[in-house]
Chain A
Amino acid sequence: MSYSGRGGWSGGREGFGWVYVLVLLIPPLANLMIEYRQRLSPNAADHDDRVQTSAAIETATLRQKLWEAERELALLRGWSQTQPRYHPVLADVVHRGDLSPRRAVLWVRGSGFAGVDSRSVAVHRGALLGRVRHVWPEQGIAQVQSLRDPYMRVRFRYDKAWGFLWGTGRADAQGRPLLEIRHLSREIAFQEGEPVYTDGEDGFFPRGIMIGSLIRSAPAGEEGAEFLVRGEFPPEQVSEAILLVESARLEVEGLAGKEPAR
């Protein structure tokens, strides 16, 4: 510490400049090392996505057909309208943060984001990644609130119970997001490792998309152990996503486009 003149202790900052730079380099280097170890981990997601992506598109298409078939069946049986249909849009994930430090988002970009809006969701290999919050269709850029976001909420269904999953902002050792179970509609015996799916009744998420698997927050039998839901993929390691856009919206936009100019 050195006295810098009139009434101030400068701490010799001019001389410590490089020390400060080194201090600023410690957290990114530590995080890069952790991410490298996660990628080497046998439980980490496979990054060779090219083949997997076509399978994911096929899965999304089949799921859409299944929804359509279910809807037709329900209409034939005289039931009420069930779930909307969705159209898959392929997008690349750009790993940039949100300007708010308390948020966890993914940026995705693609060639055409027609119809993508805040009711669209992002999936990767059939599992939920998050929900679109902002979209710039002309630029082909969208901002997706990921499951890691502490303000994330998803209505889920497990067996005969439904409830809400709340983001915690935390992740497991492999970087997969952890979600808390809230507002359960009825008491139910959870089975560790069982998948949990979206309920589709919250107005945001389509029905039947896998959110993650049930895990215990602590080993079974320990006091305070509770069930959490762990997302399928670390958002930071996903390179491609599929946005599910409501087909009805695309149809409306298509019809509007065909109208003659007045």
Chain B
Amino acid sequence: MNPGPALLLLLFSVVFQATAAPLYRAGSIEPDFPFLALVYLAFFAEPVALLWAAVLVAAAIDCVSIDPFGTRLLAFPPVLLLLNRFRRGFVAESALLRCGLTIAGCVVAFTIEGAFLAWKDGRWLGLGFEVRSALYTALLGLAVHGVMDRGRFRLGWTRDRFFA
């Protein structure tokens, strides 16, 4: 995988989260675009490159966000590595299967974030909130990943590149 487009994708997702995420607010929930971008990378990137990307993005967001430092750092890397481990060629290429994997990843990651915030900020918003956020994010992820697919083949991000 060429790291240039991957970095651009992550940078764009972070900027998009800061500028456009409020427009995607549905009630009290918002999607997490940087996590969707990382999930997409998890389908195609090497584990070490993915780990670096996850740690860097999580640390950068934790530094700027009002969430306590470590919220994403604790949630993103293990979940993404698990997704990376569980995904297979046929999963990464199937819109429905990877949507299911995205939902599972979002539920686990957001629950870890919620639990960390409950510890640090003293408030647990409830598993229902986390599941709703995960479902909404994954639903949008279906479309986001679909749009990313348009450029993916041109960049050579195919399932056969790194995974047998």
Interface pair A236/B149, CB less than 8 Å apart: no
B24 sits at the interface (CB 8 A): yes
Contacts of A102 in B (CB 8 A): 29-30, 67, 113-114, 117, 125, 133
Interface pair B67/A103, CB less than 8 Å apart: yes
Q: Which residue of B lies closest to A170 (CB)?
A: B28
Contacts of A133 in B (CB 8 A): 66
The 6 closest A-B pairs by CB, nearest first: A8-B93, A169-B28, A20-B146, A101-B30, A28-B23, A11-B95
B2 sits at the interface (CB 8 A): no
Q: Which residue of B lies closest to A35 (CB)?
A: B23
> Measured between alpha carbons, how far is A128 from B116 in the docked complex, in Å?
28
Interface pair B89/A101, CB less than 8 Å apart: no
Given A28-B20, A150-B125, A151-B121, A99 and B65 touching (CB < 8 A)? yes
Q: Which residue of A lies closest to B35 (CB)?
A: A101
Interface residues of B in 72-99 (CB under 8 A from A): 72, 89-90, 92-96
Given A24-B140, A99-B34, A170-B28, A9 and B65 touching (CB < 8 A)? no
Interface pair A99/B150, CB less than 8 Å apart: no
Interface pair A99/B18, CB less than 8 Å apart: yes
B4 sits at the interface (CB 8 A): no
> Measured between alpha carbons, how far is A98 from B66 in the docked complex, in Å?
8
Interface pair A101/B29, CB less than 8 Å apart: yes
A255 sits at the interface (CB 8 A): no
Most-contacted residue by chain B among A6, A21, A102, A166 (CB, 10 A): A102
Contacts of A166 in B (CB 8 A): 123
A to B CB contacts below 8 Å, 22 in the list: A4-B93, A6-B160, A7-B90, A8-B89, A8-B90, A8-B93, A11-B94, A20-B142, A24-B143, A31-B22, A97-B22, A97-B30, A98-B18, A99-B34, A100-B67, A101-B29, A102-B30, A102-B114, A149-B66, A150-B123, A151-B117, A169-B125
Interface pair A101/B140, CB less than 8 Å apart: no
The residue that B140 contacts in the complex, of A14, A27, A99, with Cβ under 8 A, is: A27
Contacts of B67 in A (CB 8 A): 98, 100, 102-103
Contacts of B19 in A (CB 8 A): 96-97
| 0 or 1 for each of A17-30: is its CB under 8 Å from B? (1 = yes) | 10111011001100
Interface residues of B in 57-79 (CB under 8 A from A): 61, 64-67, 71-72
> Measured between alpha carbons, how far is A97 from B90 in the docked complex, in Å?
36
Interface pair B17/A97, CB less than 8 Å apart: yes
B105 sits at the interface (CB 8 A): no
Contacts of A13 in B (CB 8 A): 95, 146, 149-150
Contacts of A20 in B (CB 8 A): 142-144, 146-147
Q: B-side interface residues toward A, CB under 8 Å?
A: 14, 17-32, 34, 61, 64-67, 71-72, 89-90, 92-96, 113-114, 117, 121, 123, 125, 133, 137, 140, 142-144, 146-147, 149-150, 153, 159-160
A95 sits at the interface (CB 8 A): yes
Q: What is the CB-to-nearest-CB distance from B4 to chain A, in angstroms, rounded to a whole number?
A: 22
Q: For this complex, into which size category does the number of interface residues on chain A fall?
A: 35 or more
Contacts of A145 in B (CB 8 A): 66
> Measured between alpha carbons, how far is A19 from B61 in the docked complex, in Å?
30
Interface residues of A in 85-121 (CB under 8 A from B): 95-103, 105
Contacts of B28 in A (CB 8 A): 150, 168-170
Contacts of B153 in A (CB 8 A): 14
Q: What is the CB-to-nearest-CB distance from B160 to chain A, in angstroms, rounded to a whole number?
A: 8
> Measured between alpha carbons, how far is A5 from B137 in the docked complex, in Å?
28
Interface pair B94/A9, CB less than 8 Å apart: yes
Interface residues of A in 1-55 (CB under 8 A from B): 4-11, 13-14, 16-17, 19-21, 23-24, 27-28, 31-32
Given A7-B89, A21-B147, A101 and B26 touching (CB < 8 A)? no
